[in-house]
Amino acid sequence: MLYFSKLRIVFITIFSLLFVLIASSNLFNFDDGFFNKKINLGLDLQGGSYLLLEIDNEPVIEQKLQNLTTTFRNYFKDKDIKINNIKIDDKYIFFNVSDENKQKVIDIFQDEDSEINPYYPRFKSHQLEIEDTGLNLKVSFSRQGLITLKTSSQDQAIEIVRRRVDEVGTNEPNILKRGNNRILVELPGLDDPMRIKSLLGKTANLTFRFVTQNDDDRFGVQKLEFEDGTQEANVSKRIIISGENLLDAQPKMDTQNNQTIVSFTLDRVGAKRFGKATSTGIGKQLAIVLDGKIISAPVVRDTIASGSGQISGGFTFQSATDLALLLRSGALPAPLEIIEERTVGPDLGQDSINAGMIALAIGFLLVIIFMFVKYRFFGLITNATLIINLFILLGVLTLFEATLTLPGIAGIILTVGMAVDANVLIFERIKEELKDETNNILAFDGGYTKSRTAIIDANITTLLAAVILFFMGSGPVKGFAVTLGVGIFTTLFSVYFIARLFTSLYVSKNKNSGKLI
Amino acid sequence: MIAFNKYYNHFNVLSTVLIVVSLLLLIFKGLNFGIDFKGGTLIELRSNDTKINVSTLRDKFSQMNLGDVSVKKFGSDNDFLIKFENKDNKKNIIEEIKVNLDNSFGNNYDFRRVENVGPKVSAELLKSGVIAISLSLAIMLIYIWIRFEWQFSLGAILALFHDVIVTLGVFSLFSLEINLSIIAAVLTIVGYSMNDTVVIFDRVRENLRKYSDIKIFELTNISINETLSRTIITSATTLLALLAIYLFGGEILKGFSLAMILGVIFGTYSSIYIANTVLVRLRVSQKTVLREDDSK
C-alpha cells in the first residue's frame, strides 16, 4: 500500500495542481476559455427571485370541449347522422343518437383514421374516449389526450413567459418546464419581482367588440365590467379583432390632450376587419376588452382603414408600457398562478456569503488545530491533505459550474469535519498494528489495508444519503447534496493518493526510528 | 478498557424511554412545520428605525386581517421574521403589506427575504420529504444487508430509527421549526449514524472471525473500545465544524446545524448502545459471520 511509482507521483501532482488551478479561476479572470469557468451562486447567495407558476388548464379544456361540440354537430350533419341534446357537463360531452346509429358513431370515434378523434400511434390511444351510458353517449378526453393538451398549453405558455421576462430585461433569467403543467422562473439579481409577477399574472387576452343595447344579438351578449369597476356594459360576443391580429404595440404620449396611450398596428387580416367594422359601425361604441374587463369603449367616429389605432384608458406611463408589452408578447393560452415564490435581497445574499465564509474559516481552523494537537506530524499531513481536498472540491464544483447555495457552503464545512474520518481510521489502525509489529512499513501497510472496508462502507452510506437528497430535494438543499456528494469523492482521492503519498515518503525515510505514530 | 457492556441494559431502557417520549410528543404535540410544509408567507424584515419593533410590527400586521401572524426577532435587534398563513392565497399580498407599512413607517425598512408557498406546493414538499427519509432508511437497510448479516442490518436500522425519532422529538419538545433544510439535516444524520455504526460493525465482524471463544457480550465491548478513539475524534471534528456553522453561519443555518449537532450526538450514542446491543440480544456468534462467508 505504501509503494508509489514515479509516474504515479507525477500524475497525482499534476491532477491536484490542475484542480487547484481551476478552483483559483474563481478569483482571477483568465482569458483562456477552459479556466474561465466559475462556480454559480444560488439565488439565496446572489439574491434573486424564484417563481413557480402553475397553468390553470380548466378554461382550456372547457374551451376545447366547446369547440368540439361545434365540430361534432357539423361532422355528423355531413354524415346524415342526427345528434340531439348535445351538452357539456363537468368535462364531458353528452349527446343522443338513435339506436341504429349508436354503433356507427362509436365506430367512428374508435377508428384509427378517425377524422374527429386523432389517434396517437406512439401511445396507442385516441385523443377522446367514448362511452355508452345507456341514456346517451359520453365523450371525454383520454388520459393521453389530456396530457397532450397540457403539454401543448405548457409549450405555448413557456414561450409567452419567456417573451415577457425578456422584455423586462433581467439578466440571465432561467425559465424551465416542471412536470406538464408548471413553469419555473428564476430571476437572479431581482430583489423586487412585483412587476414581473403582475406581468405573468395576466393572461392578456385582448378583444375588440361592439357594445350593444339589444339583448337579442345573434352572437349572444355578455355583461362586462369596466376596469375601474364603476360601470358595466352589454358587449356582443362577436369578436371584431383579437390580440392575435396585433403586429406591434407601443406606449405613446397623445400630444393633443397629454394622455398616455397605447398605439397598435394590425396585421392585414386585422386591418381589413377593423376597417370594415369601423365603416359599418360609425356612431357605435367599440369596447376594448382585456381579460374580461373593458379598458375603454370609445365611439367610432371614422372608418379606420390604416390598420393602426390607439387605446386610451387613463393609463400612467408605467401601465401603458406594461400593456404594450403584454400585447406584443401575446396572450397566454391559460391563466397562470404563482404557487411558490422565494425572493432574497442582494444584501441578505452577501451577508449569507460572509457568514458562510467565516463559518468555513473557523470550522476549518478548529479541525486543523484539533488534528495537529492529536496527531502532531501526521496531523500536519492530514491538514495539508484537507487543504488540498478543499481546493479539489472547489475545483470540481468550478469545472462543472455547479451552483453553490448557503446549505452548499454548510455541506463544504461538514465535509471538512468528516473528511478527517478516513485518515483517523487509518492512523488508529496503524497504531493498533504497531502494538505487535516492530516493522514500521509492515504496520503502516497493514493499517491501510485493514481499514479499507470500513472506510469504503462508511463513505458509501453518506454518499447514498447525498444521492437521495439530490433527487428529492429542491433548490438550496440540492446544493447541499452536491457539495456533500462531491466532497466524498475528493476526500477519498486525497486520503488514498495525497495523504498516503506524504505518509509513504515520510515512513520510508524514517522506517528505523521506532514507533512513528 | 471501558466496560460499555456493563450499561447495555440501562441504556436500552433509556433509549426505549426516549423513543416512547419522542413518539408521544410527535403524536400529541406534533411538529412545528414552517411555511415550506404548511404553506403561507414569510417575510424577513430589516428596519433602520427604532420605532419598528416586535410590538409595533405585530400591531400593524394584526390590522391587516391576515389571520394568525407571528412576529419574531431574527438574530440581530433590527431583523424580524414575520409569518402568516395567507389562507385565501391572495395574489398581491406582499404589495399590499408594503403599502400598509410605508404608510406607517415610511421608507425605514427593507424586505430582505420573501417566501410564499401555496398549499399545493407545501403538501408536495411534505410528501417528498417523508418519501426521502423513508427511502434513505430503506436503502441503508438494503445496503447493510448486502454487506453484513441480517442481525447487523436490524441493529443499524434500529439505531437510525432512534436517531431520527429522538432528533425530531427534541424539535417537537422545543417547538423548533421544521423546514426543508431540516429534512436535509435528517438525511445527513441518517448517513452519519450509519457511517458510525458501520465502522464498529466492521470491527465486530472482524473480531468474530478472529476469536471463536469470546461471547458476543464481551466481543462488542472489545470492538467498541478498539474503535473508540476514532469514534471520539471523528465526532469531535464533525461537531467542531457544525458548531462553527451554528455560531457563525448566520440565522438561516441555525436550525439545520442544530439538528445536525443533535443527530451526531445521538448517532454516536446509538452506534454504541443500540446497534451493538441488538447483536447481543440476537446472540450473534462466530457461526453467523462464517455462514455469511460460506455463502459468498
Per residue in A11-45, is it b (16+ CB within 10 Å) or e — as a string? ebeeebeebbebbebeeeeeeeeeeebebbbbbbb
pLDDT in tens, B179-221: 998 988 998 888 889 889 999 999 999 999 999 889 999 999 9
Q: Which residues of B touch A352 (CB under 8 A)?
A: 250, 252
Of B95, B111, B196, the CB nearest to A345: B111
Work out how many domains chain A is built from and give that number: 3
B199 touches A at CB < 8 Å = yes
pLDDT in tens, A306-323: 888 888 888 888 889 889
Q: Which residues of B touch A358 (CB under 8 A)?
A: 248-249
Within A30-154, strands assigned E span: 40-41, 48-55, 83-89, 92-97, 119-120, 125-126, 128-132, 137-141
Q: Which of A310, A327, A342 is the last residue of a domain?
A: A342
Q: What is the mean pLDDT of residues A362-382?
A: 93
pLDDT band at A29 (very low <50, low <70, confident <90, very high): low
Q: Do domains B4-34+121-295 and B40-117 have the same CATH topology?
A: no
Q: Which residues of B touch A410 (CB under 8 A)?
A: 245, 249, 253, 256-257
Residue A351 and residue A266 share a domain: no
Residue A269 and residue A372 share a domain: no
Residue A356 and residue A279 share a domain: no
Report chain A's mean pLDDT, rounded to a whole number.
88
Q: Which residues of A touch B178 (CB under 8 A)?
A: none
pLDDT band at A195 (very low <50, low <70, confident <90, very high): confident
CA distance B192 to chain A (A): 6
Residue A292 dihedral angles phi and psi, to the nearest 5°: 80, 5
Residue A333 and residue A362 share a domain: no
Residue A387 and residue A323 share a domain: no
pLDDT in tens, A244-283: 888 899 998 888 888 889 999 999 999 999 999 888 888 8
Name the residue of chain A whose CA is nearest to B46's CA: A348
Question: The CATH number of the domain where A222 resides is what?
Answer: 3.30.1360.200
Q: What is the mean pLDDT of residues A404-414?
A: 90
Answer whether residue A362 shows pLDDT above 60. yes
Which of A31-40, A88-97, A155-164, A443-452 is predicted least confidently? A31-40
Residue A434 dihedral angles phi and psi, to the nearest 5°: -70, -10
Of the options 1.20.1640.10, 3.40.50.300, 3.30.565.10, 3.30.1780.10, the CATH number for the domain spanning B4-34+121-295: 1.20.1640.10
Residue A175 dihedral angles phi and psi, to the nearest 5°: -120, 120
CATH number, domain B40-117? 3.30.70.250
Cell digits for B196? Answer: 458510525
CA distance A453 to A260: 75
Residue B24 amino acid letter: L
Residue A289 and residue A272 share a domain: yes
Residue A351 and residue A338 share a domain: no
pLDDT in tens, A114-129: 888 989 988 889 999 9
pLDDT in tens, A203-243: 999 999 999 877 667 778 888 888 888 888 888 888 888 88
Residue A363 and residue A405 share a domain: yes
Q: What is the mean pLDDT of residues A459-465?
A: 89
pLDDT band at B156 (very low <50, low <70, confident <90, very high): very high
User: Residue B116 and residue A338: Cβ atoms within 8 Å?
Assistant: yes
Label each residue of chain B as H, E or C.
Answer: CCCHHHHHHHHHHHHHHHHHHHHHHHHHHCCEECHHHHCEEEEEEEECCCCCCHHHHHHHHHCCCCCCEEEEEECEEEEEEEEECCCCCCCCHHHHHHHHHHHHHCCCEEEEEEEEECHHHHHHHHHHHHHHHHHHHHHHHHHHHHHCCHHHHHHHHHHHHHHHHHHHHHHHHCCCEECHHHHHHHHHHHHHHHHHHHHHHHHHHHHHHHCCCCCHHHHHHHHHHHCHHHHHHHHHHHHHHHHHHHHHCCHHHHHHHHHHHHHHHHHHHHHHHHHHHHHHHCCCCHHHHHHHHHHC
Answer whether residue B122 shows pLDDT above 90. yes
User: Residue A370 and residue B194: Cβ atoms within 8 Å?
Assistant: no
- Look at residue A176 and tell me if it is in a domain: no
pTM more than 0.95: no
Residue A289 and residue A355 share a domain: no
Question: The CATH number of the domain where A396 resides is what?
Answer: 1.20.1640.10
Of B201 and A90, the one with more pLDDT: B201
pLDDT recorded at residue A34: 61
pLDDT band at A52 (very low <50, low <70, confident <90, very high): very high
B127 touches A at CB < 8 Å = no
Q: What percent of chain A has pLDDT over 70?
A: 98
Q: What is the mean pLDDT of residues B137-152?
A: 89
Residue A446 and residue A350 share a domain: yes
pLDDT recorded at residue B295: 56
Domain that holds residue A311: 206-342
Work out the angle at residue A113's Cα, subtended by the Cα atoms of residues A107 and A116, and round it to the nearest 5 degrees.
70
pLDDT recorded at residue B259: 95
- Look at residue A499 and tell me if it is in a domain: yes
Residue A364 and residue A301 share a domain: no
pLDDT recorded at residue A216: 66
Q: Where are the domains of chain B?
A: 4-34+121-295, 40-117
User: Residue B245 and residue A343: Cβ atoms within 8 Å?
Assistant: no
CA distance A197 to chain B (A): 9
pLDDT recorded at residue B93: 84
pLDDT recorded at residue A178: 92
Answer whether residue B277 shows pLDDT above 90. yes
Answer whether residue A6 shows pLDDT above 90. no
Q: What is the mean pLDDT of residues B103-131?
A: 90
Q: What percent of chain A has pLDDT over 90?
A: 40
- Look at residue A174 and tell me if it is in a domain: no
- Look at residue A162 and tell me if it is in a domain: no
Residue B255 amino acid letter: G
B64 touches A at CB < 8 Å = no
Answer whether residue B232 shows pLDDT above 60. yes
Q: What is the mean pLDDT of residues A129-147?
A: 90
A71 in Cβ contact with A116 (< 8 Å) = yes
Q: What is the mean pLDDT of residues B254-261?
A: 94
Answer whether residue B296 shows pLDDT above 60. no
Q: What is the mean pLDDT of residues B42-60?
A: 89
pLDDT recorded at residue A35: 64
Residue A454 and residue A413 share a domain: yes
Cell digits for B237? Answer: 471534528
pLDDT recorded at residue A220: 80
pLDDT recorded at residue A32: 61
ipTM here: 0.89
pLDDT recorded at residue B237: 94
pLDDT recorded at residue B241: 93
B 216-245 residues with CB < 8 A to A: 226-227, 229-230, 233-234, 236-245
CA distance A360 to chain B (A): 7
pLDDT recorded at residue B105: 86
Residue B82 dihedral angles phi and psi, to the nearest 5°: -115, 130
pLDDT recorded at residue A215: 67
- Look at residue A494 and tell me if it is in a domain: yes
Name the residue of chain B whose CA is nearest to A410's CA: B245
